[in-house]
A and B are shown apart, each in its own frame.
Chain A
Amino acid sequence: QLPTGLYKKVLVILHDSVLPYMNEPTLMMDFLTVAYGIGGAISLLALNGLFILIHQHNLEYPDFYKKLYSLLDPSIYHVKYRARFFHLTDLFLSSSHLPAYLVAAFIKRLSWLALTAPPEALLMIIPFICNLFRRHPACRVLVHRPGGPADMSEDPYVMEEEEPSQSRALESSLWEIQSLQNHYHPDVAKAAAVLNQSLSEMEDDISGLLELSAYELFDKEVKKKAVDVPLEFEQVRGLFGKKNDICAEHFSLD
């Protein structure tokens, strides 16, 4: 019923400027539920207020995790409210009483989506997934399946399935993270390689990684002191003069 811009603004401040001062916060229930159902960024923002209601005011929300699961789409790694969303998701998934299939579905989906994520999000999501593995050891089959079939022609996981229980995530493996071991960013590749080994007991602290921005990453790299600088040994012949120069195939210097 509200314009999108206003909707977002309201939802951003709702959880700490409105809800604590209301006599009966449960009155906001309907508003938040509707907002949560809209989808996209508004759903992400409504999540925060909803969490307070569930946590402190005994709100019973049917199929909460299913809804959360369906919120995961490729844009979550690119939106502005990424840090807030993953902070909450971390909270929701911290319960050790969640069924393994649900957590596995989340893990699988998150890593599936990570294939389109920028490096700053990847640096956050990989420790996030590692933490999930630590909390739910039953999910470790995703990275360690000793007795499984030697060769599969298809990933058993069903991406399009809305229902986490039907997604067959537990039968799958985290090939996405394995692919990310070839990521161009050295830190991402290193982080992804952690899953090759058995995990340590301690959880990683991801609170510092949530707010990571691309510029910070860049700055960190630029400020690194190099001992020596390896050089290209192939003699240049011009701007597009390299062997198999892709630019030269499609661009001209005119």
Chain B
Amino acid sequence: SNPFEVKVNRQKFDILGRKTKNDVGLPGVSRSKAIKKRNQTLLKEYKEREKTNVFKDKRFGEYNTKITPEEKMIRRFALERQQNYGKKNIYNLNEDEELTHYGQSLAEIEKLNDIADSDSDTEEGGALSAELTAAHFGGGGGLLRKKVSSEQQDEEPEKPKSRKELIEEMIAKSKQEKQERQTRRESALELTEKLDKDWKEIQTLIARKTPKSERKDKEIEKPKPDEYDMIVRELGFEMKAKPSERLKTEEELAKEERARLQKLEADRLRRMRGIDEQANKKRPSHMSADDLADGFILDKDDRRLLSYKDGKINIENEEEEGEEEEEEEGEEEDNDNKEESQEESASEDEEDDAADSHSDLESDLESEEEAARDKEKKNKAAENESQNVEKLDPKSEAAESELPYTFAVPESYETFKTLLAERTIEQQLIILERVQKCNHPSLAVGNKAKLEKLFGFLLEYIGQLATLDLPELRTIDKLVLPLYNLCQMFPEAASDSIKFILRDAAHDLEEVIEVKGRATFPGLDTLIYLKIISLLFPTSDFWHPVVTPAFMYMSQLLTKCRITTLQDVVKGLFICCLFLEYVSLSRRFVPELINFLLGVLHISLPKKQAQGYTVVHPFTPVGKNLELLFVCDKDDLKSWEKQNVPLSIVTRLKETSKTEINHIRLSCLALCFDLIKKSAGLYESLPSFHEIMHPVRILLTQCVPVNEYPEKMQEWYHSAVKELENKVKHYTPLICEKKKPVPLKQYTPKLVKVLEFGRKQAGSKKEQERKQLIQRHKRELKGAIREIRKDNQFLARMQLSEIMERDSARKRKVKELLGSLATQEGEWKAMKRKKWKS
């Protein structure tokens, strides 16, 4: 381009191999570009700055360069047509009427007559017959005319015909011809139709395998297919059975089970130590081994429903499912089946498909497989067993048949209670099981929340059963199973509801302490809850959301509650048992437990000053509630037999005789001895075992009147003492863990190798990135500022030019006005002068 418009950026030094982008610039070009751009954008905006209405170009594809003009036109036309379609023109009155001719729509004729004739008339269409041409173009060449006339002359002797007659004749002829053609076509069409129909009939005959008698004629044509061939084909078409997993042998199953348990145990140990809590946070929640991650635990065993549906009933199932058939099968159950069938392994599905031909063999196979699977899944197996037991019992079976098969999850505790009211234990279990099955979370969206609520209801129900005058502990014993299953399904909800109960209980306790200054032991229901916690959750964890609060609560019970009656002692001892059970695996130290056992031993002694040991709260060395467990009746001592303490005495202890009470006292004492023995076994590894057991040992060896006890009691006593005595004393001085030495601070300068001069030596990658970002930001900021400045300049220029324009226009107008005035004045003066002259 023009060398005067080029600006060369001179380089101070030429460096080989360096590529520069901006060595030449075109300031003129770039400036004009920028101005043009501003004209298009900024100027437009500026001019429309106080206008709110906008001009919109709605023409289709006006600014779309991708579409060619032709296409654009077509599309626009189509759009127009679309817009007009359906709109009625109010001035076109007879739009709806159709013009007809011979009963045919004119429009249709217009469109179709060409097409209709095309296939039949093509051969003749091109060539016009001479007569026709002659008739139509009558006044043609003389030659033709001559010929016609000669013909006419030939016929003339018979009958000279007028022109009109001729034409009529011709028309009639052509009409006849046309009619003939039409009839021919119709008959052809009819024939093909008939042929089609016949063929169809024959086809069905061929396709169907008819008995020989019906299709003798055909068999003559076709040779009878070989039986062998048929079988071969059949086999070829049949679904091929894929190899399923090999059935596992007993040994392998046992091995697997062991591996699973080992893994779970290792997991438990890890949690017990509580060391790497953080490291393992990411691990998915602890699952039962049978958990399929879809919460599908319980309903496994209704796979039998499926097998029943498919028409091969296992003998075992027949009893139950037969009944079910009489009842109408609920929709839910159907759903269940579908659910199930989806979950079935593919191999089994195929077996089902192919089942028709050799069903007996198949079903055998399946039942075997089922058995194997049952073994695999311990969880399920237990359930199956319980079911089988139920089935054997004819009574319960009858009861089962009375129960409905589908249940909605009760919305409130009252409805839940009415659901279970007046039912036997077995029925209650069945109801619960069915409620769970019918409302499995995979069946509907809201089911999960419903079942979670069910857990709370069940818990409440158990509590209520326990608070009855005659606690139904046997029922609770059974109800624990569904509780466990529900807990496995919804651990979070279960833990929440149990925590809620615990919090309530602890709150009550605290309130009682604040009001009365002392607390009493809670009812049997709370004890049962504490027991249930140990069944549902692992108690050996270092920290557990449910178990740790339970520990705290039990500790409060053992330290805060007053011991005033024998029932209190029994409750306390039950909690001691729970404590021992909780820590049986983790061997954690529970000071309250030892304190309580010491206190219990203390109140079994005849009243005298404690020597060599001190009892702590809630027991007092002196006071009124001493000798609660003290038995002095010789006969009762003699007749005592160790028996398990029935839990129901916790709620009622009235009608029992004095001897019985004494026996219970002695049982408690024996229990206490046993607990001491057990805790001694647990804590023997603690470094200060002897200090912990010191008061108990002193009490046992110095104060207990052993010789007055019956022989059985002496056995208990001696085993406990033996456990305490025969531990070696073993002390090693403590040594702190070595601390890692902290390195001294160094003041030597940091040396960095310079690889390339001029380039920034960045430290880490992060640092580098940061620097890059800062630089880019700076550059962008500079550019933006420059742009804004230029915009402002441009605008100022525009405004200036506007003002100048306005000014010049005004000047011009003023000048014009003045000019016109001057001419007027001039004219007027001239007139005056004329007048003067004249």
* A-to-B contact residues, CB < 8 Å: 73-75, 77-78, 112, 115-119, 142-146, 148-155, 173-176, 178-180, 182-186, 189, 195-198, 214-215, 217-219, 221-222, 224, 226-233, 235-242, 244-247, 249-254
Contact = CB atoms under 8 A, between A and B. Distances in A.
A104 B616 CA distance: 25
Contacts of A246: 577, 580-581, 584, 675, 678
17 contacts: A115-B591, A149-B733, A155-B691, A173-B733, A173-B734, A175-B734, A182-B587, A186-B542, A198-B737, A214-B556, A215-B510, A218-B549, A218-B553, A222-B499, A227-B285, A246-B581, A251-B644
Contacts of B737: 196-198
Given A146-B735, A229-B491, A253-B477, A116 B616 contact: yes
B729 A154 contact: yes
Contacts of A146: 735
Given A116-B595, A230-B541, A250 B487 contact: no
A29 to B, nearest CB: 31
Nearest to A227: B281
Nearest to A215: B510
Interface string B252-290: 000000000100100010010010000001001111110
A247 B532 CA distance: 12
B616 A75 contact: yes
A71 to B, nearest CB: 13
Given A179-B692, A222-B549, 7 more contacts: A116-B591, A153-B728, A153-B730, A175-B688, A184-B590, A218-B552, A231-B288
B646 A251 contact: yes
A251 B645 contact: yes
Contacts of B648: 254
Given A184-B551, A238-B477, A176 B688 contact: yes
A173 to B, nearest CB: 4
A254 B647 contact: yes
Interface stretch (B114-122, B334-342, B478-486): B478-486
A244 B584 contact: yes
B286 A251 contact: no
Nearest to A218: B552
B589 A180 contact: yes
Interface in B715-751: 728-737, 739
Interface of B: 261, 264, 268, 271, 274, 281, 284-289, 378-379, 382, 473-474, 476-478, 480-481, 484, 487-488, 491-492, 494-495, 499, 502-503, 506, 509-510, 528, 531-532, 534-538, 541-546, 548-549, 551-553, 555-556, 559-560, 573-574, 577-578, 580-584, 586-592, 594-595, 614, 616-617, 643-648, 667, 671, 674-675, 678, 686-692, 728-737, 739
Nearest to A248: B644
A147 to B, nearest CB: 9
Q: Which of A78, A112, A143, A182 counts the most B-chain CB atoms under 10 A from its CB?
A: A182
B647 A230 contact: no
A175 B589 CA distance: 13
Contacts of B735: 144-146
A175 B687 contact: yes
Contacts of A118: 555, 559, 591-592
B535 A236 contact: yes
Q: Which of A175, A227, A231 counts the most B-chain CB atoms under 10 A from its CB?
A: A231
Nearest to B685: A182
Contacts of A230: 271, 285-286, 491, 537-538, 541, 544
A143 B733 CA distance: 8
B736 A196 contact: yes
Contact of A228 (B491, B582, B643, B674): B491
Given A228-B285, A229-B285, A229-B537, A251 B647 contact: yes
B591 A185 contact: no
A236 B378 CA distance: 11
Given A174-B734, A245-B581, A186 B543 contact: yes
A239 B488 CA distance: 17
A180 B590 CA distance: 9
Contacts of B532: 239
Nearest to B502: A222
Contact of A119 (B494, B555, B645, B734): B555
A109 B737 CA distance: 24
Contacts of B617: 75, 78
A153 B729 contact: yes
B734 A252 contact: no
A215 B556 contact: yes
Given A74-B614, A229-B546, A236-B484, A250 B559 contact: no
Contact of B577 (A148, A174, A247): A247
Nearest to B670: A250
Given A178-B687, A230-B285, A189 B542 contact: yes
B670 to A, nearest CB: 8
Contacts of B586: 184
Given A183-B588, A252-B644, A155 B671 contact: no
Nearest to B559: A118
A254 B477 CA distance: 11
A185 B646 contact: no
Nearest to B382: A235
Contacts of A176: 688, 691
A201 to B, nearest CB: 13
Contacts of B691: 112, 115, 155, 175-176, 179
A185 B732 contact: no
Contacts of A235: 378-379, 382, 484
B739 A198 contact: yes
A214 B574 contact: no
Contacts of B674: 249-250
A143 to B, nearest CB: 5
Q: Which of B268, B480, B581, B688 counts the most A-chain CB atoms under 10 A from its CB?
A: B688
Contacts of B488: 231
Contacts of B551: 184-185
A115 B734 contact: no
B579 to A, nearest CB: 8
Contacts of A145: 733-735
A231 B537 contact: yes
Contact of B736 (A144, A224, A232): A144
Nearest to A250: B671
Given A175-B731, A230-B271, A119 B285 contact: no
A185 B729 contact: no
A185 B573 CA distance: 20
B648 to A, nearest CB: 6
Contact of A150 (B474, B587, B732): B732
